[in-house]
Amino acid sequence: MIVIALVSFICSERTIDADKIMNYISFASVILSITLSVFAIMYTYTSNVQIQQQFEKINAAAENIQTASKEVTRTEQKLSSMMGDLMSHIESIDESQKEVTKYLNEKPTHQQEPQPNYFPDDADRVL
């Protein structure tokens, strides 16, 4: 608003040194433009550094995810292998249990106990 008022005042040529004031305004605008350009370059550099840091964090997170994925895959493979071994052991135990059951079912329930022979040498003698 102040700039518009100043330009209007200069355009109406109410001042004696309007050319001198225009030179000052031109010089000030050049300095301001250079300063704003430097700030814009610094802001761009700062933004690029921050973006680079964010990309590095994203890359690190992606690597962590990839490592975790590989670990999960290895764990799944180990679990599958262990599951197969476990099933083999269960089948082996099942077969052993069947064999024991078969053996117990085939064994007679009432076995005659052998009669003790108190006189093995006297068995040939007649009394």
Determine the pLDDT at residue 24. Answer: 80
Residue found under tokens 């300063």: 35
Q: What pLDDT is stored for residue 108 in this prediction? A: 61
One pLDDT digit (tens) per residue for the chain, 127 residues: 666 666 666 666 555 666 777 778 788 888 989 999 999 999 998 888 889 999 999 999 999 999 999 999 999 999 988 988 888 888 888 888 888 888 888 866 555 555 555 555 555 555 4
Rounded to a whole number of angstroms, the distance between the first and last alpha carbons of the chain is 151
pTM to 2 decimal places: 0.44
